[in-house]
Amino acid sequence: MVCFATPTYEERSLASTELRSTIGGYPIKYDGDCDGVTSDAAHPFHDSIVDKLDRWAGATNFYASTYGGLYLDWIGHLGTYRDFPGSPSWHYTARAWDISKIQWTNGASVDICHGAHASPERKKRRQYLAVEALLRRHFRTVLNGYYNAAHETHFHVDNGCELEPMNTSLTSHTLFMQLVANDLMNKSLVVDGVWGPATESAFWEMKTVLNMTCLHPRNNVSHYVTLLNYIARHGFGNHSLGVYKYPLCT
Ligand SMILES: [Zn+2]
């Protein structure tokens, strides 16, 4: 696992960034206070992050349309670059992005800014987790609505650490798997980000129902990505895990 030193306020820089008003060909719209889109202005994205995000947006449209009949219209966000003092942050070099809304062409959305992570509608929570699964194919650091109060309005992603397999010692990775177990397997795990026996047991059951017992997402990035792909399929399709099974583990 490779992580880099988080930039400080004094190290803020827009070097190696590109101004973008689209990601993956889809418009991005600024929604800074969650009161509605205030701007469709271009924002700086660090060169090292923009290609990952382009591919994520394309995959989001592909999976959502193929499995859920939903087509991506635009992406709401809370910004990339930050120019005010605070904790060390990848936002100081525009290597982070805060995603607040996934707007579909049919008028529906995953309204992250207004608490999609805790929506009373399971279908919405499943879409939220599908979006998160596809982010996790590219980013080791994805902070969701359960990570802390500051992230209840957006997914934070950054590439301060290189992609690695599922890491059960990371709160953010564990929270995600607990949520998937609850919303896509009807488990009732405590969503605390701590990998304990109940989470371990649910994880094995998850691999079993997906016919993935020969895969090792904790040791192998491509196995982890395969698992994430299947979570995204089921999430957008609004299915419990097991409708789609991995064909290669006997
Ligand atoms: Zn952020």
The secondary structure of 152-199 as a DSSP string is: TT-EEEE-SB---S--TTSHHHHHHHHHHHHHHH------SS---HHH
Residue 245 lies in a domain: no
Cα distance between residue 210 and residue 249, in whole Å: 10
Buried-state track 180-203, b at ≥16 Cβ within 10 A, e below 16 = bbbbbbebebebebebeeebeebb
Q: In which region does residue 24 sit, left (phi positive, over 0), alpha (psi from -120 to 50) or beta (all else)? A: left
Residue 193 lies in a domain: yes
Q: How far is the CA of 23 from the centre of ligand 1 (A)?
A: 17
Q: Which two tokens stand for residue 29?
A: 């719209």
Average pLDDT value for the chain: 97
Query: Among candidates 61, 79, 72, 51, which has minimal Cα distance to 156?
Result: 79
Residue 184 lies in a domain: yes
Whether the per-residue pLDDT at 232 is higher than 80: the answer is: yes
Residue 103 lies in a domain: yes
Q: How far is the CA of 81 from the centre of ligand 1 (A)?
A: 9
Residue 246 lies in a domain: no
CB half-sphere exposure, 151, CA atoms < 13 A: 16
Q: How far is the CA of 159 from the centre of ligand 1 (A)?
A: 11
- Model confidence pLDDT, tens digit, residues 78-90: 999 999 999 999 9
Whether the CB-CB separation of 156 and 143 falls below 8 Å is answered with: yes
Q: How far is the CA of 94 from the centre of ligand 1 (A)?
A: 10
Q: How far is the CA of 215 from the centre of ligand 1 (A)?
A: 32
Residue 243 lies in a domain: no
Q: How far is the CA of 98 from the centre of ligand 1 (A)?
A: 5
For residue 85, give its domain range. 9-237
The count of domains in the chain is: 1
Mean pLDDT (whole number) for 233-246:
98
Q: How far is the CA of 150 from the centre of ligand 1 (A)?
A: 9
Q: How far is the CA of 220 from the centre of ligand 1 (A)?
A: 27
Q: Enumerate residues 6+ apart whose C-beta is below 8 A from 162.
A: 1, 2, 3, 140
Cα distances (angstroms) measured from residue 91 to each of 21, 74, 131, 213: 17, 22, 21, 38
Mean pLDDT is lowest, of 28-37, 93-102, 112-121, 213-222, for 28-37
Q: How far is the CA of 198 from the centre of ligand 1 (A)?
A: 30
Q: How far is the CA of 4 from the centre of ligand 1 (A)?
A: 16
| Tally of CB atoms within 10 A around 149 | 7
According to the model, what pLDDT value does residue 32 have?
Answer: 79
Q: How far is the CA of 88 from the centre of ligand 1 (A)?
A: 11
pLDDT exceeding 90 applies to what percent of the chain? 96
According to the model, what pLDDT value does residue 34 have?
Answer: 85
Q: Which two tokens stand for residue 86?
A: 């605070």
According to the model, what pLDDT value does residue 250 have?
Answer: 79
- Model confidence pLDDT, tens digit, residues 26-73: 999 998 778 888 899 999 999 999 999 999 999 999 999 999 999 999
Q: How far is the CA of 53 from the centre of ligand 1 (A)?
A: 14
- Model confidence pLDDT, tens digit, residues 131-187: 999 999 999 999 999 999 999 999 999 999 999 999 999 999 999 999 999 999 999
Residue 222 lies in a domain: yes
Q: How far is the CA of 180 from the centre of ligand 1 (A)?
A: 22
| Nearest-5° Cα angle at 194, 193 to 197 | 130
Q: How far is the CA of 192 from the centre of ligand 1 (A)?
A: 21
Q: How far is the CA of 89 from the centre of ligand 1 (A)?
A: 8
Residue 187 lies in a domain: yes
According to the model, what pLDDT value does residue 99 have?
Answer: 97
According to the model, what pLDDT value does residue 75 have?
Answer: 97
According to the model, what pLDDT value does residue 40 have?
Answer: 92
Where residue 130 falls among pLDDT bands split at 50, 70, 90? very high
Q: How far is the CA of 96 from the centre of ligand 1 (A)?
A: 6
C-alpha of 95 from chain center: 15
According to the model, what pLDDT value does residue 43 have?
Answer: 98
Q: Which two tokens stand for residue 103?
A: 């707007």
Q: How far is the CA of 107 from the centre of ligand 1 (A)?
A: 26
Q: How far is the CA of 157 from the centre of ligand 1 (A)?
A: 7
| Tally of CB atoms within 10 A around 222 | 10
Whether the per-residue pLDDT at 1 is higher than 80: the answer is: no
Whether the per-residue pLDDT at 213 is higher than 90: the answer is: yes
